[in-house]
Amino acid sequence: MGVGAQPTTFGIPGVAKYASFLKELPDSVQVRKKLLSAIERASLYPAGSPERKRLLSFVVVGGGPTGVEFAGELQDYVDEDLHKWMPEIADEVKVTLIEAMPNVLNAFSKKLWSYAHEVFTETNIDLVLNTAVKNVTDTTITAQKKLADGKTETLEIPYGVLVWATGNAPRDLTKSLFKKIPEQNTARRGFCPSIC
Ligand SMILES: Cc1cc2nc3c(=O)[nH]c(=O)nc-3n(C[C@H](O)[C@H](O)[C@H](O)COP(=O)(O)OP(=O)(O)OC[C@H]3O[C@@H](n4cnc5c(N)ncnc54)[C@H](O)[C@@H]3O)c2cc1C
């Protein structure tokens, strides 16, 4: 059996309905369509209008390798391609990466994640750390940011395209097999008979 995994949404309201994922080939086609549609629709609104700003807000949730790589590629596309044919739109695009932990690439060394933070600052990607998404509607992300003094602040982030990259969960077929393997009930990760 080698059925892979599926994106996890943690049951956060609105994610499955409004976000795009980065898992299967059709996901990438959908992301491309949504990006081009948001750019074209934004160009119909006058510069500085709130709707144009919302449409050009591209948000990536999840600061693992997938989210970090995608946010970087997206900013490269804006700077190197979009800028050639729609410079006024490219200048208004805002790429934001939201991460629940204090750093991106938490599974890697400090050297690597601090380099990623530097590159994000240089390339103008907005890094929103210590922030967990709580709800998504068709236009707005609601998130809770942990502040240094231990308090929390609620953020409302309007978006045009939302890409969700918070990791993977077992597929339904795999979950149905879990039930038949008693040892699996205590396993914290995926399908792992006998050795977990
Ligand atoms: C955006 C992204 C970037 C990545 N980058 C890297 C990288 O740079 N380097 C790296 O090493 N890894 C990378 N990975 C991880 C890598 O893709 C996975 O580890 C690898 O694909 C897992 O292989 P798999 O065969 O277990 O599952 P999958 O590749 O998911 O294959 C499982 C297959 O089973 C099929 N299937 C599912 N359910 C059923 C069913 N009931 N009946 C029949 N077929 C079914 C699925 O359609 C799928 O084709 C990346 C993953 C993502 C999402």
CATH of the domain at 131: 3.50.50.100
Is 172 near ligand 1, meaning CB less than 6 Å away?
A: no
List, for residues 168-194, the tens digit of each pLDDT value: 988 999 888 888 887 777 777 666 655
Q: Whose CA is nearest to atom 47 of ligand 1?
A: 3
Q: Are strands 161-164 and 168-170 parallel, antiparallel or unpaired?
A: unpaired
Question: pLDDT value at position 190?
Answer: 64
Identify the pLDDT of residue 196.
52
The mean pLDDT of the chain is: 93
Q: Are residues 192 and 126 in the same domain?
A: no
Q: Is the same domain home to 187 and 129?
A: no
Q: Are residues 181 and 141 in the same domain?
A: no
The answer to whether the beta carbons of residues 163 and 21 sit under 8 Å apart is yes
Same domain, 161 and 176: no
Which range of residues forms the domain containing residue 179? 172-196
Q: Which ligand 1 atom lies nearest to the CA of residue 168?
A: 53
Task: Label residue 90 by pLDDT band (50, 70, 90).
Answer: very high
Instruction: Please state the pTM of the whole predicted model.
Output: 0.90
Per residue, what are the HEC states of 65-82? HHHHHHHHHHHHHHHHHH
CA nearest 1: which of 196, 194, 195, 193?
Answer: 193
Backbone angles phi, psi at 6, to 5 degrees: -135, 155
> pLDDT of 4-13, one tens digit each?
999 999 999 9
Whether residue 56 is found in the same domain as residue 151: yes
* Assigned domain for 2 exists: no
Task: Tell me the CA distances in angstroms from 12 to 18, 134, 145, one per residue in order.
Answer: 11, 6, 16
Task: Please work out whether the CB of residue 117 comes within 6 Å of at least one atom of ligand 1.
Answer: no
